């Protein structure tokens, strides 16, 4: 099945499955070349990341760079619904920061899908917890 044959909710579900599995090829394939990602706050991952390469090599790489790879990094989608080309997702994520502190987060995001790929993601999470768990003080 090609990306364009996937319903918007299935595009987002496939993306999260790829993130959980560390499937880099599918993560890359999930994003449109002109995709963008926004994350609020004053964190290293905050702001708008424009373009697939910036999202993957900037936003995602920066986030994962703060995690201790010797410990489990996990995520579980808890809610997923949509209408038209927009999908809302909620998920739990957990890891251990390179700080040694536990990261246990509730996340949500609005995705916009075009031609079977993510063109926009706006993610909302507890930025204070992100800073506490993952940044050196």
Token pair, residue 84, equals: 């038209």
pLDDT tens for 70-123 read: 999 999 999 999 999 999 999 999 999 999 999 999 999 999 999 999 999 999
With bands split at pLDDT 50, 70 and 90, how would you rate the model's confidence at 1? Answer: low
pLDDT tens for 57-70 read: 999 999 999 999 99
pLDDT tens for 23-69 read: 999 999 999 999 999 999 999 999 999 999 999 999 999 999 999 99
Token pair, residue 35, equals: 């995709």
Query: In whole angstroms, what is the distance from residue 119 CA to residue 12 CA?
Result: 11
Token pair, residue 26, equals: 């599918």
Domains of the chain: 3-134 (3.10.450.50)
**CA end-to-end span of the chain, whole Å?**
47
Using the CB atoms, write b or e for 36-62: b if 16+ within 10 Å. Answer: bbbbeeebbbeeebebbebbbebbbee
Q: State pTM to two decimals.
A: 0.94
Q: What is the pLDDT of residue 2?
A: 67
Longest dimension (CA), the chain: 47
């Amino acid at each position: 099945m090609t990306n364009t044959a996937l319903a918007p909710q299935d595009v987002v579900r496939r993306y999260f499955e790829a993130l959980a599995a560390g499937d880099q090829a599918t993560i890359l394939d999930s994003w449109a070349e002109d995709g963008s990602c926004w994350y609020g706050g004053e964190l290293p991952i905050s702001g708008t990341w424009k373009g697939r390469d910036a999202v993957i090599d900037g936003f995602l790489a920066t986030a994962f760079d703060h995690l201790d790879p010797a410990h489990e990094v996990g995520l579980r989608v808890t809610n997923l619904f949509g209408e038209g080309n927009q999908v809302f997702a909620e998920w739990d994520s957990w890891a251990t920061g390179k700080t040694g502190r536990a990261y246990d987060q509730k996340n949500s995001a609005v995705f916009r899908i075009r031609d079977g790929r993510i063109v926009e993601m706006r993610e909302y999470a507890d930025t204070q917890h992100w800073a506490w768990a993952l940044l050196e003080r």
